[in-house]
Amino acid sequence: MKNLFFDKSWTIFLDRDGVINEKLENDYVKNWDEFVFTKNAKIAIANLSEIFGRIFVVTNQRGVGRGIMSEDQLIFIHSKMNDEVSSEFGRIDKIYYCTDIMDSSEYRKPNVGMALSAKKEFPDIDFSKSVMIGDSETDMIFGKNLGMKCFMISKQSLMTDLFFFDKKFESLFECAIFLKSEIIH
């Protein structure tokens, strides 16, 4: 990957489960007690807040659509998450979530509806100057479908199929350190 230089004109899109918070395998984070930040995630978001003009979370939340949790519970989790991020001098400009059950929903990643909603609300977003950070192939396809740079978060040794992602990191914190090294001085 050639060198990139990030500045405030760039936008970052973050997946939630597995990136910002620990993913519960075969389950959903249904309440604040189950929400556990990944190691140094709040510091990572604070670092990203210094670099990027906008930071959005885009997250599939099928558990609401399945009736496993309510949308009010999800909103409460996101509110507490934002409070915690803010307490470490980070920011999240907006959280977009999809509660739809069907993969065909235009808003469910890898489909791009959440990003298009962000673009409608924040017209200055340039997807060619955007980064998607996620922990799944659907996150990477979501970003690639919009022409974003895509960074995979995974502790697993994955084949580095550059079609799906540009670079792999073990954590959001590690990714943020890399991105901070790429800012325009």
How remote is the C-alpha of 141 from its chain's centroid?
13
Q: For residues 126 and 122, what is the distance between their CA atoms, to the nearest angstrom?
A: 10
Note if 17 is an active site residue: yes
Among residues 15, 100, 135, 139, the one annotated as catalytic is: 15
8 Å CB contact between 76 and 16: no
Kindly name the residue from 17, 135, 139, 166 that is annotated as catalytic.
Answer: 17
Nearest to 169 by CA among 115, 182, 87, 184: 182
Rounded to whole angstroms, the Cα distance separating 142 from 139 reads 5
126 is catalytic: no
Token reading at 135:
């922990």
Q: What's the chain's Rg over C-alpha atoms?
A: 15
- What is each CA distance from 143 to 25, 101, 117, 138, 166, in whole angstroms? 23, 21, 14, 9, 11
Catalytically active residues, by annotation? 15, 17
